[in-house]
């Protein structure tokens, strides 16, 4: 949904009613209904088609709008398991009292979060959450949002608050790209884990609700500039600590005590001194089991929030000590000057309580049975009566529990709260106790109902009275819708100078024992002019009756003044400060007693403290954009899918739903100032695009007139192409604001979206063209650089190759020359023998074959072969005897000599290693001595192939590559 909805001052609803409008946009005035029978006729006509009633997802579409038609529509939707319905600017939620599968799943969250127009989807609590989230994204004042969940006890407020927190923890953390996923999951987990702890220590099972919040809380979900969840903080209001020591019939204490009893291990119970089967006076209805009795879930939440094992042991020991205090009873003393003694069965409980709280048992008993009075500078000890001892015992338990709860809230805030510099906006979720009316109502119910009166006044002032008054001030001819204003009731409770609270505080500050009958007489005397208070003079118990917006409630006066004083004896505080339990020392460190004599008349009472905290809450609500969700309880017995008409109609009338529907259906729920309207929608016309820069105005009146003309011209241009039957019912131009229906807003957003799409397309085209050009230039530059680098590298490599080739060639030449010289030295190292006789000329045939003529030698010639040796040509005229010694050498010689195979004609001896080798280049005389050295040549040790044909005498096979 577009962020234009952020500029609304009241919520969103589909509206079709009328008021007269000036200028080109006219709305017909709604005529008054002529007769009651006409209304009855319309009512009957509307209700005849009951099969279609469940299709009305917005009650502003109901015609006529009466409590009967609204009730019938809600009943029809409830029967088909549809539990959310829009009521103009409010969402109505019916409690099904049973789990509904897939109604709050992650897929449903993503569906509403990703929807272009969530308001067009089926009504759901996620629509309210998403609208608030998009308002923060739009950053239109007031940016901060408040989700007010109201309704009676048992209507489903706590569950709705859970769903809202789960939605934001999922949506506002799933797309985070700044933080690591582990950090996001840690924040989400800690924010959600605050719920089980707060509910375990602050909720209880009452007559009307199994999980009733016995305190109010306002949870601020902190968002950074990217609208991501970075932390949260919790503010609490008026914990009902009296429930620790006093529970009504069929009600229970706080959940945490029952979780300890049912979920702890035997070892833990032994440590807490809670033996099997022990009965605790402050733990009634232990046999009743509810869904919230989940001890492990609470412990896991503590671990995730950073409460270590040792601190958990201290917490549970304190809670176990409180339970043991409940079993401590006193015997009345016959003489007021004597101390009250413990009952026999209470002595063990007293000892256990002292051990669990880590205080001396004697001092604990003394603090409960003796009070210290100050007379000037002297202190006097006075024994307490049995009733006073019980009151001091209850006061000790309530004080410890209240301070422990306050410490838990502080610890949770320290664990989940982000640094002030890391977040800039917040979405607040308000979950307060619902309106209560029991058989016996005291100060707690008075404060709770007072808080509901303040929230109802905020709703009335924000949506009903302010909206209608603004219509008149902006020039709309408006027929006022009557609604119930609770200002007189608030004046009765908190007015100045005389009110119920002021008289109660005055009575509490007097240093005397209060008398209920006397206080009732004073209330009657001072407040008799207010019609919202009354008395039953024939009642035995003094009380007064207040007419709240939701009905009349009788308040018992007895004990109200003492509860308002909330005295805590200083000796009890001193005892707890000296306890060996580190947690008790921490939460009671530097804590002064509330009845310190130095405070005198300036003592802060319970009512004053609660009123101040509630005023700070209302200030937050007034500075944020509120979103109201009205939870309705379908039946008083909390039965699944059971709809009681009487129960629902009372709630509808009490919270003003019908009046809200009337005003939303007949009026304009969306109101935008001219300047903001032009800044947002001026781009629809090109000549107004310059106005989007937000230039400041000089003359306010002239600027308002010009802006009004510009707005009318802009609206005329938008509407001229539309074919609505009544265009005048869509928009109205007031004196300073534009009043729109949801249909007109969607039309403007559609036009604006088209222009923004065109602009975005043009920007994308220019950007892509720029990107391509820049990429092309970079490619050309890269190509030139790469070519230059490659050419330089090639030249460098070629030069290196040339230098290497020169070195190799030079080295090769030197090496071959060295080998050649070595070979020549090998062959020429023997001196030629001096011929004793002249050698005859060679035969031409032998000369051609390169052989040596041996015919002049009469004796057979002994040829001693060289391994790769010398080849002798065939000499058929010479008879040489061959004696082969050594198989391999014989084969080597035979392969080297091309001689006819004549057995016994040749003699070859290969013992050159023993006799030496001499050169046979000259004609030998007698036996030829060959001098042999190991050849340094590459082929010196290689054997010739078998197929090699060697011809020519004196051929050196070393120079031939085999």
Q: Could you say which DSSP state residue 853 is in? A: -
Residue where one domain finishes, among candidates 779, 797, 832? 779
Q: How sure is the predictor about 244, in pLDDT bands with cuts at 50, 70 and 90? A: very high
Q: Are residues 957 and 820 in the same domain?
A: yes
* C-alpha to C-alpha distances, 469 to 29, 382, 478, nearest whole angstrom: 17, 63, 9
Out of 603-612, 655-664, 929-938, pick the least confident. Answer: 929-938
Residue for token pair 């949002």: 145
When the pLDDT of each residue in the chain is averaged and rounded to a whole number, the result is 77
Greatest C-alpha distance within the chain? 178
8-state DSSP, 264: S
CA–CA separation, 62 vs 73, rounded Å?
Answer: 8
Per-residue pLDDT, 692: 44
Share of the chain above pLDDT 70, in %: 72
Both 820 and 927 in one domain: the answer is yes
Q: Please determine, for residue 598, whether its predicted confidence score (pLDDT) is greater than 50.
A: no
Q: Which long-range contacts (CB under 8 A, 24 or more apart) does 833-838 make?
A: 833/922, 833/924, 833/925, 835/922, 835/923, 835/925, 836/925
Give CA–CA dist 161/344, Å, rounded. Answer: 48
Q: Are residues 766 and 840 in the same domain?
A: no
Q: What is the mean pLDDT of residues 526-530?
A: 89
Residue 147 lies in a domain: no
Domain of 850?
814-961
**Domain assignment present for 611:** no
Domain-located, residue 42: no
More confident call, 231 vs 834? 231
Is 886 annotated to bind a ligand? Reply is no
| Sign, CA torsion 53/57/62/66 | positive
Report the pLDDT value the prediction gives residue 204, as an integer from 0 to 100: 92
Is 156 a known ligand-binding residue?
Answer: yes
Q: Answer for the pair 735, 704: CB distance below 8 angstroms, yes or no.
A: yes
pLDDT at 865: 44
Q: Are residues 826 and 869 in the same domain?
A: yes
Angle at 802 between CA 801 and CA 808, to 5 degrees: 85
Sequence-separated (6 or more) residues with CB below 8 Å from residue 21: 27, 476, 728, 732, 733
The interaxial angle of helices 645-654 and 657-666, nearest 10 deg, is 60
pLDDT number for residue 334: 67
Query: What stretch of H or E contains 611?
Result: helix 606-622
pLDDT in tens, 257-294: 999 999 999 999 999 998 888 899 999 988 888 888 89
Residue 734, SS3? coil
d(CA 1, CA 822): 99
pLDDT at 409 over 90: yes
Say whether both 755 and 827 belong to one domain.
no
Does residue 784 register a pLDDT over 50? yes
Q: Which residues of 657-672 are buried (b: 16+ CB within 10 A; e: fewer)?
A: bbbbbbbbbbbbbbbb
The highest-confidence range among 167-181, 579-593, 803-817, by mean pLDDT, is 803-817
Average pLDDT over residues 32-55: 60
Contact 399, 571 (CB under 8 A): no
Same domain? For 947 and 820 the reply is: yes
Instruction: Report yes or no on 933 lying in a domain.
Output: yes
Residue 407 has pLDDT above 90, yes or no: yes
Q: Tell me the CB-side half-sphere exposure of residue 751, using CA atoms within 13 A.
A: 20
Q: What is the pLDDT of residues 110-131, one digit of tens each?
A: 999 988 888 878 999 999 999 9
| Residue 888 pLDDT exceeds 70 | no
According to the model, what pLDDT value does residue 45 have?
A: 60
Which pLDDT band holds residue 567 (cuts at 50, 70, 90)? Answer: confident
H or E, element range at 533: strand 533-534
Catalytic (active-site) positions: 153-154, 158, 209, 212-213, 434, 436
Burial of 838 (0-12, 13-18, 19+ CB in 10 A): exposed
158 known member of a binding site: yes
CA–CA dist 501, 451 (Å, integer) = 13
State how far the Cα of 432 lies from the Cα of 238, in Å rounded to an integer: 10
Q: What is the mean pLDDT of residues 913-919?
A: 42
Report the alpha-carbon distance of residue 198 to residue 527 in Å, rounded: 39
The total number of structural domains that make up the chain: 2
List, in order, residues 6 or more apart from 491 with CB less than 8 Å away.
499, 530
Dist CA 644 CA 646 (whole Å)? 6
Asked if residue 761 and residue 881 are part of one domain, the reply reads: no
User: Residue 443, SS3?
Assistant: helix
**Low-confidence winner among 53-57, 664-668, 724-728 (lowest mean pLDDT):** 724-728
Helices (H), 139-180: 157-174
Q: Is 153 annotated as a binding residue?
A: yes
Q: Please give the Cα distance from 194 to 192 (Å, whole number).
A: 5
Q: Would the pLDDT of 505 be above 70? A: yes
In 10 A of CB 101, how many CB atoms?
6
Strand order in the sheet with 90-94: 84-87, 90-94, 625-632, 145-151, 425-431, 216-223, 229-237
The answer to whether the annotation marks 131 as part of a ligand binding site is no
User: How far is the C-alpha of 666 from the C-alpha of 29, rounded, in Å?
Assistant: 10
| Inter-residue contact 936 to 821 (CB < 8 Å) | no
- Say yes or no to pLDDT of 254 above 90: yes
Mean pLDDT over residues 447-455, rounded? 90
Express as a percent the part of the chain with pLDDT over 90.
Answer: 29
Who has greater pLDDT, 140 or 446? 446
Q: Are residues 929 and 821 in the same domain?
A: yes
Looking from the CA of 750 toward its CB, the CA atoms found within 13 Å total 9
Q: How many Å apart are CA 214 and CA 698, to the nearest integer? A: 54
Phi, psi of 733, deg, nearest 5: -95, 110
Asked which of 10-14, 288-292, 578-582, 631-635 is least confident by mean pLDDT, the reply is: 10-14
Q: Is the pTM of this model over 0.75?
A: no
Q: Based on the domain organization, do 698 and 819 belong to the same domain? A: no
pLDDT band at 951 (very low <50, low <70, confident <90, very high): very low
Residue in 744, 664, 678, 662 with CA at minimum distance from that of residue 481? 662
Do the domain assignments include residue 723? yes
pLDDT score at 702: 52
How many C-beta atoms surround the C-beta of residue 307 within 10 A? 19
pLDDT at 572 over 50: yes
Note whether residue 937 is domain-resident.
Answer: yes
Tell me, what's the pLDDT at 912? 41
Kindly tell me if the per-residue pLDDT of 481 is higher than 70. Answer: no
Q: What local confidence, expressed as pLDDT, does residue 847 receive?
A: 53
Domain boundary among 721, 753, 779: 779
The confidence score (pLDDT) of residue 220 equals 92
347 marked among binding-site residues: no
Residues 854 and 721 in one domain: no
pLDDT higher than threshold 70 for residue 170: yes
Token pair of 708 as six digits = 């009004």
- Cβ contacts of 769 within 8 Å, gap of 6 or more: none
Instruction: Determine the average pLDDT of the residues in 290-310.
Output: 91
Q: Do 818 and 890 reside in the same domain of the chain? A: yes
Strands 731-733 and 737-740: antiparallel
DSSP-derived pairing of the beta strands 625-632 and 90-94: parallel
β-bridge partners, 58: 86
Does the structure show a pLDDT above 50 at 383? yes
- The pLDDT value given to residue 227: 87
Tell me: pLDDT of 739 over 90: no
Does residue 937 share a domain with residue 822? yes
The model's confidence at residue 890, banded by pLDDT at 50, 70 and 90, is low
Confidence bin at 592 (pLDDT 50/70/90): low
- Which structure tokens are listed for 234? 């919790």
Helix or strand (DSSP H, E) at 128: helix 125-138
pLDDT tens for residues 182-210?
555 567 788 888 889 999 999 999 888 88
Burial of 252 (0-12, 13-18, 19+ CB in 10 A): buried
Q: Is the pLDDT of residue 23 over 70?
A: no
Which of 733, 759, 779 is the C-terminal boundary of a domain?
779
- Interatomic CA distance for residues 837 and 82, integer angstroms: 141
- pLDDT of 879 higher than 50: no
Cα distance between residue 101 and residue 114, in whole Å: 21
Is residue 117 included in any domain, yes or no? no
894 is a domain residue: yes
Tell whether residue 202 is among the known ligand binding residues: no
């Amino acid at each position: 949904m577009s962020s234009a909805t952020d500029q609304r001052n009241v919520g969103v609803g589909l509206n079709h009613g009328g008021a007269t409008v000036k200028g080109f946009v006219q709305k017909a005035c709604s005529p008054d209904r002529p007769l009651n029978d006409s209304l009855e006729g319309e009512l009957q006509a509307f209700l005849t088609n009951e099969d279609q009633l469940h299709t009305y997802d917005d009650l502003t579409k109901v015609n006529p709008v009466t409590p009967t038609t609204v009730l019938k529509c809600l009943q029809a939707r409830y029967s088909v398991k549809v539990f959310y319905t829009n009521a103009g600017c409010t969402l109505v939620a019916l409690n099904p009292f049973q789990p509904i599968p897939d109604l709050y799943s992650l897929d449903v969250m993503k569906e509403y979060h990703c929807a272009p127009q969530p308001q067009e989807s089926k009504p759901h609590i996620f629509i309210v959450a998403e609208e608030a989230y998009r308002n923060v994204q739009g950053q239109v004042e007031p940016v901060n949002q408040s989700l007010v969940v109201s309704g009676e006890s048992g209507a489903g407020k706590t569950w709705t608050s859970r769903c809202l927190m789960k939605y934001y923890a999922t949506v506002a953390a799933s797309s985070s790209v700044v933080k690591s996923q582990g950090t996001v999951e840690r924040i989400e987990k800690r924010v959600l884990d605050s719920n089980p702890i707060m509910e375990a220590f602050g909720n209880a099972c009452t007559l009307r609700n199994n999980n009733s919040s016995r305190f109010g809380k306002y949870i601020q979900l902190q968002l950074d500039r990217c609208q991501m969840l970075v932390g949260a903080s919790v503010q609490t209001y008026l914990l009902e600590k009296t429930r620790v020591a006093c529970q009504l019939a069929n009600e229970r204490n706080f959940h945490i005590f029952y979780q300890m009893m049912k979920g702890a291990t035997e070892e833990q119970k032994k440590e807490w001194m809670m033996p099997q089967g022990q009965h605790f006076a402050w733990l009634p209805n232990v046999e009743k089991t509810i869904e919230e009795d989940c001890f492990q879930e609470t412990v896991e939440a503590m671990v995730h929030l950073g409460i270590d094992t040792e601190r958990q042991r201290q917490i549970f020991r304190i809670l176990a000590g409180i339970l043991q205090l409940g079993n401590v009873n006193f015997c009345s003393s016959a003489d007021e000057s004597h101390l009250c003694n413990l009952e026999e069965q209470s002595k063990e409980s007293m000892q256990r309580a002292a051990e669990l709280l880590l205080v001396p048992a004697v001092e604990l008993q003394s603090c409960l049975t003796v009070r210290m009075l100050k007379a000037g500078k002297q202190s006097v000890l006075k024994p307490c009566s049995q009733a006073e001892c019980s009151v001091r015992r209850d006061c000790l338990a309530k004080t410890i529990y209240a301070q422990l709860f306050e410490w838990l809230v502080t610890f949770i805030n320290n664990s989940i709260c982000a640094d002030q510099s890391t977040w800039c906006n917040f979405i607040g979720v308000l979950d307060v106790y619902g309106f209560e009316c029991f058989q016996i109502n005291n100060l707690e119910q008075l404060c709770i109902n007072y808080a509901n009166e303040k929230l109802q006044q905020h709703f009335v002032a924000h949506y009903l009275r302010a909206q209608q008054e603004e219509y008149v001030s902006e020039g709309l001819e408006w027929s006022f819708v009557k609604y119930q204003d609770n200002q007189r009731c608030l004046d009765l409770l908190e007015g100045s100078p005389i009110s119920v609270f002021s008289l109660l505080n005055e009575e509490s500050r007097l240093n005397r024992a209060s008398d209920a009958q006397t206080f009732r007489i004073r209330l009657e005397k001072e407040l008799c002019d207010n019609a919202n208070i009354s008395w039953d003079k024939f009642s035995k118990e003094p009380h007064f009756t207040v007419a709240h917006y939701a009905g009349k409630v009788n308040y018992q006066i007895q004990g109200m003044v003492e509860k308002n004083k909330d005295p805590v004896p200083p000796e009890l505080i001193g005892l707890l400060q000296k306890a060996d339990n580190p947690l008790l020392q921490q939460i009671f460190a530097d804590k002064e007693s509330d009845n310190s004599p130095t405070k005198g008349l300036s003592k802060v009472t319970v009512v004053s403290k609660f009123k101040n905290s509630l005023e700070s809450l209302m200030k937050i609500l007034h500075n944020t954009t509120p979103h109201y969700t009205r939870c309705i309880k379908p039946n008083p017995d909390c039965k699944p899918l059971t709809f009681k008409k009487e129960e629902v109609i009372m709630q509808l009338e009490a919270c003003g739903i019908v009046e809200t529907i009337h005003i939303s259906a007949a009026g304009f729920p969306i109101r935008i100032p001219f300047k903001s309207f032009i800044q947002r929608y001026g781009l629809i016309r090109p000549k107004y695009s310059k106005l989007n820069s937000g230039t400041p105005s000089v003359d306010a009146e002239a600027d308002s007139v010009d802006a009004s003309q510009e707005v009318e011209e802009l609206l005329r241009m938008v509407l001229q192409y539309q074919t609505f039957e009544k265009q005048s019912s869509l928009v109205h131009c007031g004196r300073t604001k534009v009043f729109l229906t949801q249909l007109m807003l969607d039309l403007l957003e559609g036009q604006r979206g088209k222009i923004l799409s065109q602009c975005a397309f043009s920007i994308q085209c220019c950007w892509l063209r720029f990107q391509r050009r820049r990429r092309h230039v970079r490619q050309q530059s890269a190509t030139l650089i790469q070519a230059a680098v490659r050419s330089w590298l090639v030249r460098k490599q070629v030069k290196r190759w040339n230098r290497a080739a020169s070195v190799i060639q030079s080295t090769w030449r030197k090496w071959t020359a060295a080998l050649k010289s070595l070979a020549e030295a090998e062959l020429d190292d023997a001196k030629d023998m001096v011929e004793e006789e002249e050698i005859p000329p060679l035969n031409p045939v032998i000369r051609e074959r390169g052989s040596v003529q041996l015919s002049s030698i009469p004796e057979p010639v002994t040829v001693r072969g060289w391994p790769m040796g010398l080849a002798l040509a065939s000499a058929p005229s010479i008879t040489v005897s061959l004696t082969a010694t050594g198989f391999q050498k014989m084969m080597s010689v035979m392969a080297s000599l091309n001689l006819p195979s004549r057995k016994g004609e040749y003699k070859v001896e290969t013992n050159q290693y023993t006799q030496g080798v001499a050169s046979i280049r000259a004609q030998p005389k007698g036996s030829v001595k060959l001098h042999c050295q190991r050849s340094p040549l590459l082929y010196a040790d290689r054997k010739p192939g078998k197929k090699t044909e060697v011809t020519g005498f004196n051929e050196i096979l070393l120079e031939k590559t085999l």
